[in-house]
Amino acid sequence: MICRLVVMSRWPAPLRCKRRLARGLGAERAAAVQARLTAHCLRTGRRALRLRQARRPRERWQLVLAVGGAGGRCAERWGRAVGADRVELQGTGALGLRMQRQMVQGRRHGASASVLIGSDLPTLSPADLLAAFDALERGDVVLGPASDGGYWLVAVRQPWAGLFAGADGPIGWGGDRVLEHTLAAARRARRRVVLLEERSDLDRPADLEVWR
């Protein structure tokens, strides 16, 4: 059984990432924060996968870095530097389309489950990810609620387009009702949902306090 843990991140170059953070810190420092966040999430993911595989040696997990804002060669070099097993480009489109693309890619590569996280998670721990892996055994969809009304993690075994399309029309990505609309889509599709603990993203300079 092959499963994928995907970290979705922007290329850490000034003015290509963390624009809200850059307004308070400056573009160079914001890009450095982006690079550090991504490396942290990948290290944490690697530790979680080792713990999981020690308990479930028949499982095969793949750590994927899905890159936005960069071409293939840059993305590959970055992925190798931060320890990803595989590097993929996010492609174009809204966030929902890019996440759906990762789920479909997973199925094409034979994955029986996919876990997606962003890189804005300075307090992410292996225990958070292990909880998500375990929750996949109890539900069709696992969501980690975020304090801004979105979610910091989504995991599925069988992806379906409606999860990211919304129950009553397109989901307003970046708004405060993303989780609400996603839950409505899951209910309409009669999918069992397991919720993890709430976490906060890192978008503004004040959010850096939890990382100091």
Domain-wise residue ranges, the chain: 2-211
pLDDT tens for the 212 residues of the chain, in order: 789 999 999 999 887 787 777 787 788 988 898 999 999 999 999 999 999 999 999 889 999 999 998 898 999 999 999 999 999 999 999 999 999 999 999 988 889 999 999 999 999 999 999 999 999 999 999 999 999 899 999 999 887 878 887 766 678 888 889 999 999 999 988 999 999 999 887 666 666 665 55
Residues 6+ apart with CB under 8 A from 57: none
CATH of domain 2-211: 3.90.550.10
Please, how many CA atoms are within 13 Å of residue 8, restricted to the half-sphere of its CB? 19
Residues 6+ apart with CB under 8 A from 170: 94, 96
